[in-house]
Amino acid sequence: MMGNQELCHRVKTTLKTLVPITDSGTNYLGMEIDHDAGAGRVRVTQRGYSEKILERLEMSDAKPVKTPLPTDFTASVIEAPSGGLPKGAAAFDSAKFRSVLGMLMYIATRTRPDLLFSVGVLATVSAPSASCPEAPCPGHRAALQRSLRYLVGTTDLGLLFQRLNNSEIRLEAWCDASHGREIHHTASGYCKSRSGGFITLNMAVVSAFSAVQGATALSTFEAELYALVQVIRQVLALRHLITFLVGVTLPPTIVHCDNNSVLLQLKRRDLSARSRHIRVHLGFIFDALEANEIDARFVRSGENPANAMTAAEDRDRFARSVDVMTGRPPEGPARDVRPSERAA
């Protein structure tokens, strides 16, 4: 419980007289919450849980890496790296592979959005399918072990929520899509795209996703549009929740997209014969723009932190993405990832 300490103590004391409760302090379901009221920040990590996982898998002393996946990784990489399977990766049979993946998924969906893409893409090959009958293959097991080696060096990483000037509530979103890179579970092979994105509240993620799109996008434009719709749906839900809880009307939420064609379509706000099949998606965004609930803006692809949700990035770009997602102060010169070009 956070807030006025005297009031919190009274509430807990009263609850104890009504029902049996256990005061777990600053720990909750594997999450460690550090609340500094004076500095106006809340930090949420899963260091203890992460260390237990690594200790259980005998990887506490493994050599750490800077990214959870190599930049050339795709789910179709079934062969082991040229140097052979890393020590310990061979032990990841199908059952253990899924078990370890579940542990990482629990971390990724709570305090570590930087792991969402690696966990999501490996989840698609965690069991045999028509497109990958021998999954998880040696390449997949090596990739899972690399994600664990990334965890070795980042157990302290978490989410840092900060109080802004004038007690401002700042909601901001980013989205991205990778077109046609996902293996669908049919003989057709590469036919699906992946959506990725996240929403920050006062500088740290409160909602994030990285998932294969349900509909088959026929172009990069459509893939990016579907990703934009997905993140806007979550933005609207969070805006309504914040308004209900706090009783304030938020300014339009900035939503960053790196596809100029999508943003140009939103500016024109017209439908043609070539866009009739996506008119429902466009209409949904038009309504949000007209209601002044979102403000769609362009971000250069190389500066879009949501890229980390749809593809394996190099160490420098990935570090910049992690800075934005977690609220972590960037290392070195300040990096501006908030562009000024507006779509509406």
Which residue segments constitute the domains of the chain, with CATH numbers given? 5-45 (no CATH), 47-152 (no CATH), 164-326 (3.30.420.10)
pLDDT score for 76:
65
Q: Which residue has the tokens 């003989």?
A: 187
Match 């596809």 to its residue by tokens.
259
| pLDDT on residue 204 | 93
Least Cα distance to 178 among 218, 120, 224 occurs for 224
- What was the pLDDT predicted at 339? 37
pLDDT at 270: 76
Identify whether the C-beta of residue 131 lies closer than 8 Å to the C-beta of residue 185.
yes
Residues ≥6 apart with Cβ < 8 Å to 102: none
Q: In this structure, what are the phi and psi dihedrals at residue 259, rounded to the nearest 5 degrees?
A: -115, 110
- Residue 17: both structure tokens together: 């007289």
Residue given tokens 């038009």 in the structure block? 286
- pLDDT for 94 equals 86
3-state secondary structure (DSSP) of residue 167: helix
8 A C-beta contact, residue 206 and residue 199: yes
User: What is the arrangement of strands in the sheet containing 158-162, beginning at the earlier edge strand?
Assistant: 27-28, 31-36, 41-45, 158-162
How many whole angstroms from its chain centre is CA 172?
Answer: 14
What's residue 134's pLDDT? 72
pLDDT 10s digit of each residue in the chain, 344 long? 555 677 877 888 888 888 888 777 788 888 999 988 888 889 999 999 999 999 999 999 999 999 999 998 876 665 555 555 556 555 678 889 999 999 999 999 999 999 999 999 999 888 776 666 777 888 888 899 999 999 999 999 999 999 888 778 999 999 999 998 876 555 555 678 999 999 999 999 999 999 999 888 999 999 999 999 999 999 999 999 999 998 889 999 999 999 999 999 999 887 777 777 898 999 999 999 999 999 999 999 999 999 999 999 999 999 999 999 999 776 543 333 343 344 44
Cβ-contact 219, 210 below 8 angstroms: no
| Alpha carbons within 13 A on the beta-carbon side of 315 | 5
Q: What is the pLDDT of residue 332?
A: 40
pLDDT given for residue 7 in this prediction: 81
Spatial separation of the C-alpha atoms in residues 110 and 207, rounded to whole Å: 9
